[in-house]
Amino acid sequence: MANCSNCSAPLPPNSIQCAYCGSRNDTDLKGVHYYTTHEIESERICPRCNLRLRTIDLKLDGRFLIERCDECLGLFFDPGELEALLEATVSNVFAVNRNQLDNINTTRPNDYGVSYIKCPICSKIMNRVNFGTKSGVIADRCKDHGIWLDGGELRHLFEWMKAGGKLLHQERQEQLKIAEEKEQERERRKKHAQSSDGDCLDYSGFNMYGSTLRNEDPDLFEMVKNAISFFSK
């Protein structure tokens, strides 16, 4: 949990606004070891404030550019960048802390409530998506251009990662995959059973049935026997 830099009160999840003294806290990039601000403003527009976003370089393995709004401190990530940043910043997590994750997974809306905002690049209305499993963060996503996080949400995702949220998410994905495969197998069997309706013989019994017929068919049996005795004469 992060604390207000002004009065030390704990900050609400997904928020940069202190509930006690009202001051705004720039907490999101505290978890990032190093970054520089580029002086040039990007062409991208903050979906909350309509101002140009500023490009900042997080220097993970070289250049790693994301955009930030100086006003609301929201962040915009190109596709895959947010995952890469979480991965690079929070590592060595080997266990899922379920209690901690339950605390983190507060579904209260962030400071902006439920609202739909525009992609900073194409201006199309973005989708609201649950990030990961039990993260408590609903991110705004343009499937072509990336993900917007409001101020405080990145800090929240760092906490989620530390509590093993990503491990839990992978576990869930794995379970979903297995359940889906089982369902497909069930469907396949059902179809197979339906298509062989009408000849309700079990195929595994077919050979038995054939050999029984031969033994019980005296004519055929006799013919074969006669033929054999004829040739062996």
The token pair that represents 42 in the structure block: 């990007």
- Decide: is 138 part of the binding site for Zn ion (CB under 5 A): no
Minimal CA–CA distance to 73: which of 90, 41, 48? 48
Binding-residue pattern over the window 97 to 136 for Zn ion, x denoting contact by CB under 5 A: ----------------------x-xx--------------
CA terminus-to-terminus distance, the chain: 100
The nearest distance, CB 53 to Zn ion, in angstroms, is 8
Rounded Cα distance, 185 and 27, in Å: 48
Q: Quote the least distance from Cβ 34 to Zn ion, whole Å.
A: 23
Name the one range near Zn ion by CB under 5 A: 18-26, 84-92, 174-182, 192-200: 18-26
Are 119 and 145 spatial neighbours (Cβ–Cβ below 8 Å)?
yes
Count of all residues that appear for the chain in the document = 233
Residue closer to Zn ion by CB (options 21, 179) is 21
Q: What mask of x and - would describe binding to Zn ion in positions 72 to 91, judged by CB under 5 A?
A: x-------------------
β-sheet with 36-45: strand ranges across: 36-45, 52-57, 65-68, 75-77, 146-149, 138-142, 127-130
Q: Is 48 in the site for Zn ion (CB under 5 A)?
A: yes
Residues of this chain that bind Zn ion (CB under 5 A): 4, 6-7, 9, 18, 20-21, 46, 48-49, 69, 71-72, 119, 121-122, 142, 144-145
